[in-house]
Structure 1
């Protein structure tokens, strides 16, 4: 099982680098940077991190096939792989941030992801590519340098069943956002396996990585309260498709949700604050990692038993605490306890 960190490019470069170094020192396997418009440019930041670290893998979580052509992504990730000495890893999804501002039409997202991966892999192999897909086109082009690795791992993020099956068919791993409960993990895994089998792949070859907002504090309730606004946004925006949420009693009433419909993605949590009275600790526990060290450790072990192969945490601060507190506690306290439960020596 792997432990990864996800950060957003909204802090000064030196502050972000401090967090990356803390993650490396605390035992994290990978540091991901959100390719989020319009924060600091993702590949510039990742190259900076690569030059100042030695072990952690580095990659965008996630880029998309619309704002940046897959050929440019192949060029960028191969360059990062060279700078980092084979530590690059690529996360790709359908994207959403900045599309309204850029006038981008997100056409056939699952197809676009599949075609993008096909083009990227051919280019990383050094091939001259002529490609006419339903969404992606590339006309007799190739990289004018030789990537040091043709098999850079590619992970896929998708919020819908079709995209999840696509991940099973063509990715090395799939990201599951807010997959904090066993029932939802198992439903997601079933769609991954379906896509893998249909493509003639061994389902076990496709890893399942859950992406969770995380907050760890000595006062577990303070940690849960810190993530309550993020869960209000998660439930209010309706962007993610949860197969088992209704049967688990984790949805909010339609009349309540109607009061926050139409909020712009870039507005963050603010439009969803009216939902806070309806977001219970049960919601928070189902969609995040929040609590004290013992509570979060138990949750991670539960997810592992449900079939999760790795966890990506986006850290938050409890009142009176810091983001660095969550990063350090996750890596230095929670993770050794999880490994001990699995019989792995830290």
Structure 2
């Protein structure tokens, strides 16, 4: 488990996006550790720096912070390679690795000519295989991918590297509750988190009795600043990617116009990022990001925690990253005092 260090027993995580040099991300991770966060996740997009390289720098800069991919997908990289990369982070961090894995962003994968086929099965097979490899087994697999007599030439120090599945849809949520150690729910709004909690309950009902406890974290896009408008403006890029991959029921839940959402997604698939960000509406920001001042964000955190065990403060954090890390910590502290 990612674990927690707060007095309220709530897990606090942070997502750091490698759109910045690894040295800066490492400095932000150290700041997050000082501010009381439990875990830091390095996001993975082909157009940014490699998350595992960045995680290695984060490991050097921190002492106790759990470190995870947030999240990698088993389409761009073979699952055996993902297992080896995660084991390497576990080794260099003295057992602090978390394996954050999901199906990947459909629009980003389409830019690479990658078809995201059978996503639930592929994610499940990926972390099942990884667990066997981390346990020192030699594995052959024939399913959504192929591996023949694969093994790792290293022994990760963790007895069991925790697996957290990035999920939004009903099937992936239920699968994560049944098989994984935790879930990173791609949602920020209480309405979505309440619905997700219902799906997780169904999966937990089928969870084998010998499994360890399960943790649900809101992997919530957050933008916090001293100025409300500045915080909301900085929220446009991550909201665009969320909208571009949002399923029809999610859009309907928030009364988001389907044509407006499609326009955002189409621009992303064409690689027209500025156009996509510009097409994000205020309603989309309200639905898919916790954006505002420290006090506004604290209120939204409190509402989210009615449905989850903790929050990962996701990208963009805010217009000023260092300031935002501190403000996010302040907002989390306000929640624990409630």
User: Is residue 295 of structure 1 aligned with residue 293 of structure 2?
Assistant: no
1:108 to 97, 105, 118: 118
2:326 to 328, 331, 342: 328
* Equivalent in the alignment of 2:335: 338
1:267 to 243, 267, 271: 271
Q: For the residues of structure 2 that align with 1:74 and 1:256, how far apart are their CA atoms?
A: 39
Q: Given that residues 6 and 33 in structure 1 are in contact (C-alpha distance below 8 angstroms), is that contact kept between their aligned partners in structure 2?
A: yes
* Equivalent in the alignment of 1:194: 202
* Equivalent in the alignment of 2:179: 170
Superposition pairs for residues 121-140 of structure 1, below 5 Å? Answer: 121-133=131-143, 135-140=144-149
Q: Which runs of 5+ in 2 are unaligned?
A: 1-9
Q: For the residues of structure 2 that align with 1:76 and 1:12, how far apart are their CA atoms?
A: 20
Superposition pairs for residues 159-308 of structure 1, below 5 Å? Answer: 159-177=168-186, 179-200=187-208, 205-228=213-236, 230-231=238-239, 234-235=242-243, 237=244, 239-241=245-247, 243=249, 245-249=251-255, 251-252=256-257, 254-257=258-261, 259-260=263-264, 262-265=266-269, 267=271, 269-273=273-277, 275-276=279-280, 279-280=281-282, 283-308=284-309
| TM-score, length of structure 1 as denominator length | 0.85
Moved more, 119-128 or 142-151: 142-151
Moved more, 181-190 or 215-224: 215-224
* Equivalent in the alignment of 2:164: 155
Q: For the residues of structure 1 that align with 2:104 and 2:296, how far apart are their CA atoms?
A: 32
| TM-score, length of structure 2 as denominator length | 0.87
Structure index of larger Rg: 1
Offset of residue 102 of structure 1: 4.0
Q: For the residues of structure 2 that align with 1:8 and 1:139, how far apart are their CA atoms?
A: 34
Q: Give the SS at the match of 2:52.
A: helix
CA root-mean-square deviation? 2.5
Quick one: structure 1 residues 37 and 232, their matched pair in 2 at CA, closer, same or farther if it must change by over 3 Å? closer
Offset of residue 224 of structure 1: 2.4
Q: For the residues of structure 1 that align with 2:99 and 2:208, how far apart are their CA atoms?
A: 23
2:95 to 66, 82, 86: 86
Quick one: structure 1 residues 162 and 149, their matched pair in 2 at CA, closer, same or farther if it must change by over 3 Å? same
* Equivalent in the alignment of 2:4: none
Count of residues in correspondence between the two structures? 328
